[in-house]
Amino acid sequence: MRYVVGIDLGGTNIVAGTVAEDGSDVVGLVSEPTLPEQGADAVVARIVKLARASMTQGGGRKISGVGIGSPGPLNTETGVVLLTPNLGWTNMPLRDRVVGELGLPATLDNDANCAIFGEWWRGAARGAEYVVGLTIGTGIGGGIVLGGHIYHGASDIAGEIGHMTIDSTGRRCKCGNYGCLEAYASGPAIAARAVEGISAGVETALPQYVDGDLSRITAQVVYEAAHDGDLYALEMVRETAKLLGAGVANILNIFNPEVVVICGGVTLAGDKLFAPLQSEVKRRAFKPAWEACRIVPGALPGTAGVYGAAAVFMQRTWGAC
Ligand SMILES: [Zn+2]
């Protein structure tokens, strides 16, 4: 059995794991904070350290290479990360830096593409022909897997679902545009919308969850208050579901997928989010598209990106995963 190290590089954490070529197992799962403010060299050193730690914990398995998932935009052919606001990188030859340090071949792909590819390979979208997925956290990433391959488009930008415009004159997004889905339904955007309502004087127990310090309100706090029955928090979750539902309905009408997989912290909201999301998609999408599609939470929380990054290496190197 051959093994590949999968690296999931995020703005907050780096996760590495050693994945068997049949996907049956991930061993030596290790993680550390990314600490991007320490600079690119420190982050590369941390990636290399975690890859080595994973291989050591994996215990003498034959390692064929390394698959890296990174925030983009990036170039999958040259292995260069073009620009990442979260990490502060421009034209960073990440793949070749890792190859140089580890002496193993490597591949580079977008982190959200890797997460959705992982869900297709081993998770909630396993075996499906047409898959579109969202990763909802600090931002909203997306991935499209068609016929068992990531769809990259003409220049590796395909799948930026978080930057779909849902309100052309709406909220400002970190990408510079207005009204992107991410500006409404990412974790920080959910928190910001909740705080705006509190500042405007709505009735809610939310401030009590953070000892009155509104800067500590996160999407998780909103979900927690919603679970406790706070009406305003419930309304925030419902509103988020409707906005996501509009985005997912667009996806259904454009791609007619079998599965839409939704990954990330937002899935903690459970049925309070998924039920209104489903009904919004049903209301907006064409009926045959709705009838053909399952909308499901990711099945590999924390490891989808590692599985997917390793699978990208396998598919590009061996032709299959
Ligand atoms: Zn945007």
The 10s digit of each residue's pLDDT in 164-179 is: 999 999 999 988 999 9
Q: What distance in angstroms lies between residue 145's CA and the mean position of ligand 1's atoms? A: 22
| Structure confidence at residue 126 (pLDDT) | 97
Centre of ligand 1 to C-alpha 31, Å, is 28
pLDDT at 123 (0 to 100): 97
* Distance from residue 126's CA to the centre of ligand 1 (Å): 29
Q: In whole angstroms, give the CA distance from residue 156 to residue 134.
A: 17
**Tens digit of pLDDT for each residue in 96-108?**
999 999 999 999 9
Residue ranges of the chain whose pLDDT lies below 70: none
Q: How many CB atoms lie within 10 A of CB 121?
A: 24
146: β partners = 130, 149
Query: Rounded CA gap, 18 and 56, in Å?
Result: 10
Please tell me the distance between residue 173's alpha carbon and the centre of ligand 1 in angstroms. 5
Interhelix angle 187-199/231-255, nearest 10 degrees: 140
According to DSSP, the residues that pair with 69 across neighbouring strands are: 8, 109
**Residue 299 confidence (pLDDT):** 95
CA–CA distance, 186 with 285 (Å, rounded to integer): 22
In angstroms, what is the span from residue 162 Cα to ligand 1's centroid?
A: 6
Residue 60's pLDDT is: 77
pLDDT at 266: 82
pLDDT value at residue 267 = 82
- The C-alpha atoms of residue 38 and residue 59 are separated, in whole angstroms, by 31
Question: Cβ neighbours of residue 200 under 8 Å, at least 6 residues apart?
Answer: none
Whether residue 15 contacts residue 303, with contact meaning beta carbons closer than 8 Å, is answered with yes
pLDDT at 320: 87
- Residue 56 CA to ligand 1 center (angstroms) comes to 40
Report how far ligand 1's centroid is from the alpha carbon of 52 (Å). Answer: 36
Q: What is the pLDDT of residue 263?
A: 95
Give residue 246's Cα distance to chain centre. 19
pLDDT at 19: 97
Structure pTM? 0.95
